Structure 1
Amino acid sequence: MTSILIVTDAWRPQINGVVRSLERTAEELEGMDVRVEFLTPRAFRTLPCPTYPEIRLSLATPARIRRMIADAACDHLHIATEGPLGLMAARIARRDGRIFTTSYHTRFPEYVSARLPVPLSWSYGWLRRFHNSGQGCMVATMSLENDLQARGFTNLMRWSRGVDHHLFKPYEGSVLPESLPGPIFMYVGRVAVEKNIEAFLSLSLPGTKVVVGGGPQLERLRREHPDVHFTGAKVGEELARHYASADVFVFPSLTDTFGNVLLEALACGVPVAAYPVMGPLDVIGDTGAGVLNEDLQKAALAALDVPREHAREAALGYTWAESARQFLDNCVAAYDNRNARKAA
């Protein structure tokens, strides 16, 4: 397999785990002499997503998508998201008898239910039909694999994540204002309702709470929590230095499938405090690199005692090179899966 076309509704200028994972995977694959092409919203006119205008929905037609897939002339088709582009690409692939894989990045049903009165069973039923229609669905963790299997998802494949240990590392000093009292408890990520950030902001903690990131809830939370330091979105070394300026990384999400930010914080030598749910259970588990507790305040306070070098060590086992190899192996295995289906 020498070329892969990735269809994704999530793309720059969005800053999130999906975009970062796809970009880094593509970089590693190209180093393995695999050509990677992307079909993204940048090729189309877009409209803002209701309730989340930072996400743009592409105005595309099936005929144009089919032409773009054909013009890419790639050996394999991977559909990363369940948005307008992903849905049309999957429909075209099924009609044309083309092998394709998908990936499950976001607990979309939980995100929808946080905004609209839609039963989880409806959303999961729709997602199950979408992902089961391909020759493999890539998932980041065992917890997610077990959850989706119980909901009737099939052909699940493991695709973990990585972290750049050269960028995300301990740094000397702090980039935060000297006036902020310590210890520093930090959240990094989208500032949106599904991230459960208010569970963090409501904690009674010593020192200062810091929120790094942008999103639809940012301005409201700024008004309601004047004691919290909001930095806005950060990228690259500036982001890494913000992580390294924290004493504890607090991850309040109950709906993430993995949480790339967990690895980034750990790689910077910052212990994690989180709920014992999917994502933290898989990354932190019994490594001792953080504290998981149903009482997030207890977890945050206890994480202050975790050695920073222990946190860093826990992240070193995750690399983007290994992540890309898993991705490529899954693309190849998709052809075996189709042959097995035909034989059955």
Structure 2
Amino acid sequence: MSLPSLAITLITETFPPEINGVANTLGRLSEGLRARGHRLQLVRPRQSSDQGRKSDEHLLLTRGWPLPGYPGLQWGQSSLHKLLRSWQRQRPDVLYIATEGPLGLSALRAARRLQIPVVSGFHTNFQQYTGHYGFGLLTRALTNYLRWFHNRSQLTLVPSVSQQIELQRRGFERLELLARGVDSQLFHPAKRCAALRERWGLAEGDLAVLHVGRLAAEKNLALLVKSVHALQQTHPQQRLKLILVGDGPQRASLQQQLPDAIFCGLQRGEELAAHYASGDLFLFPSLSETFGNVVLEALASGLGVVAFDQAAAGQHIRHGHNGALAVAEDQQGFIDAASWLLADKESLRRVRLNARQHASRQGWAAIVELFELHLRSAMQPQTMLKAAHPDV
């Protein structure tokens, strides 16, 4: 007997067409839930493309404030009374709160008043970002707030085992794993483009060292610079060129430090897939990811991925088999891992084949099905009882 469809409300400060890992994940989950027959309401701040657009039963738009250091992204304004009116008129079965800003907090408060079960998602390590942006003193306060916030939901979904262990150590409760998938038909080695590599100035046999992501302090890009310079010195016989896809506040500084690198800016869809597939080696030095969708996208595109042994890389890469890993914080280990991949063409070829084979099995369908099960479990009376807290 099939289970009844649900009325699900998703609350988030970011959503496609905005480009970031959270928006990408939420877009995939939303599509998957609708495809499974569920009724979905999206609550988010008004985007620049929403001029003249009005809220309806499927979309509730709120005002937003610019998010410092993240042009184009915003915090949703607290909207307690608007949410109460909407949910009293059309009550959801369950909420998924993806972001912990003022909009997410007002949704949590409204849910407590109306006794609607809540699942929250831990998508971004904001508590780690404070040090990179000169607000190190706020780290403890932000961690305390995030723990308080998530411990008032029935469940908190985390994307990786390493993240789950870290949050448990910090007192977060009722954590469940919800990994990420990848569109392995979009991100595919067959999208490799000779014309694009030619525009990058690469000849046959040259290697494109790729990085995809936000060019910002929290991405540990100083190690990217250091790694490329080290590889060029240790492998002088191999012509390498660094290709950066993405944008952010550190772009101008990186262009000064890496005058020979190619900066491609933001890419989407088929163009992004072509950029991935046209690379050879993928360097991902970030230590601040809850998951790192780009790692799976690079694996699916058949790249030799070098990353630290945590988050997506820790879950999906077996060192020496389908990528190369370094112990977290070990910068020389990261450089050595990249150097090992370049030392032997046959090893790199084998690793790239294995990367594609592994990623092709990491589809979104199973992730969406598990997401639905987590939402249903939050609606059970015993789960509600476990999460009983005073009103927020």
Using the size of structure 2 for normalisation, the TM-score is 0.82
Correspondence for 2:22: 18
Distance in 1 (alpha carbons) for counterparts of 2:139 and 2:71: 23
Range with greater deviation from structure 2 (206-215 or 42-51): 42-51
Correspondence for 2:368: 324
Distance in 1 (alpha carbons) for counterparts of 2:365 and 2:311: 24
State the identity as a percent: 36
- The correspondence of residues 58-97 of structure 1 with structure 2, limited to 5 A, is 58-71=76-89, 73-97=91-115
> Cα distance, 1:288 vs. partner?
1.8
Counterpart pick for 2:338 among 300, 325, 339:
300
Q: Indicate conservation of the 8 Å contact 1:8/1:40, yes or no.
A: yes
SS of corresponding position for 2:157: strand
Q: Does 1:225 align with 2:258?
A: yes
SS of corresponding position for 2:377: helix
Correspondence for 2:211: 187
> Residues 279 and 41 from structure 1, CA distance in 2 versus in 1: closer, same or farther, beyond 3 angstroms?
same
> Cα distance, 1:178 vs. partner?
4.9
SS of corresponding position for 1:238: helix
Amino acid at match of 2:146: L
Correspondence for 2:188: 169
Superimposed CA distance per residue, residues 20-70 of structure 1 (whole angstroms, 9 cap, x where no aligned partner)? 111111111111111222101122333322232332123343212323344
Q: Indicate conservation of the 8 Å contact 1:160/1:326, yes or no.
A: no
Q: Does 1:110 align with 2:128?
A: yes
Distance in 2 (alpha carbons) for counterparts of 1:303 and 1:156: 36
Q: Does 1:101 align with 2:119?
A: yes
> Cα distance, 1:10 vs. partner?
1.5
Distance in 1 (alpha carbons) for counterparts of 2:151 and 2:288: 22
Distance in 2 (alpha carbons) for counterparts of 1:96 and 1:74: 10
Correspondence for 2:236: none
Correspondence for 1:264: 297
Q: Does 1:2 align with 2:22?
A: no
Range with greater deviation from structure 2 (320-329 or 30-39): 30-39
Distance in 2 (alpha carbons) for counterparts of 1:313 and 1:290: 12
> Cα distance, 1:13 vs. partner?
4.2
Q: Does 1:244 align with 2:267?
A: no
Distance in 1 (alpha carbons) for counterparts of 2:166 and 2:364: 25
> Cα distance, 1:117 vs. partner?
2.2
Superimposed CA distance per residue, residues 56-109 of structure 1 (whole angstroms, 9 cap, x where no aligned partner)? 123343212323344554221110011221111112212332210100011111
* Number of residue-to-residue matches in the alignment: 342
Range with greater deviation from structure 2 (261-270 or 214-223): 214-223
Correspondence for 1:137: 156
Q: Which runs of 5+ in 1 are unaligned?
A: none
Distance in 1 (alpha carbons) for counterparts of 2:161 and 2:65: 35
Amino acid at match of 1:144: Q
Aligned Cα RMSD in Å?
1.9
> Cα distance, 1:280 vs. partner?
1.7
Range with greater deviation from structure 2 (170-179 or 90-99): 170-179
> Residues 292 and 286 from structure 1, CA distance in 2 versus in 1: closer, same or farther, beyond 3 angstroms?
closer
SS of corresponding position for 1:258: coil
> Cα distance, 1:12 vs. partner?
3.5
> Residues 223 and 245 from structure 1, CA distance in 2 versus in 1: closer, same or farther, beyond 3 angstroms?
same
Using the size of structure 1 for normalisation, the TM-score is 0.93
Distance in 2 (alpha carbons) for counterparts of 1:196 and 1:217: 11
Distance in 1 (alpha carbons) for counterparts of 2:142 and 2:75: 19
Amino acid at match of 1:51: G
SS of corresponding position for 2:83: helix
- The correspondence of residues 272-283 of structure 1 with structure 2, limited to 5 A, is 272-283=305-316
Superimposed CA distance per residue, residues 192-239 of structure 1 (whole angstroms, 9 cap, x where no aligned partner)? 111112210222223111110122222332234222111001010110
Distance in 2 (alpha carbons) for counterparts of 1:28 and 1:102: 18
Q: Indicate conservation of the 8 Å contact 2:94/2:379, yes or no.
A: no
Distance in 1 (alpha carbons) for counterparts of 2:303 and 2:101: 34
Q: Indicate conservation of the 8 Å contact 1:48/1:55, yes or no.
A: yes
Range with greater deviation from structure 2 (92-101 or 15-24): 92-101
Q: Indicate conservation of the 8 Å contact 1:274/1:280, yes or no.
A: yes
Amino acid at match of 1:309: L
> Residues 91 and 231 from structure 1, CA distance in 2 versus in 1: closer, same or farther, beyond 3 angstroms?
same
> Residues 21 and 273 from structure 1, CA distance in 2 versus in 1: closer, same or farther, beyond 3 angstroms?
same
Q: Which runs of 5+ in 2 are unaligned?
A: 47-60, 233-239
Distance in 1 (alpha carbons) for counterparts of 2:184 and 2:253: 34
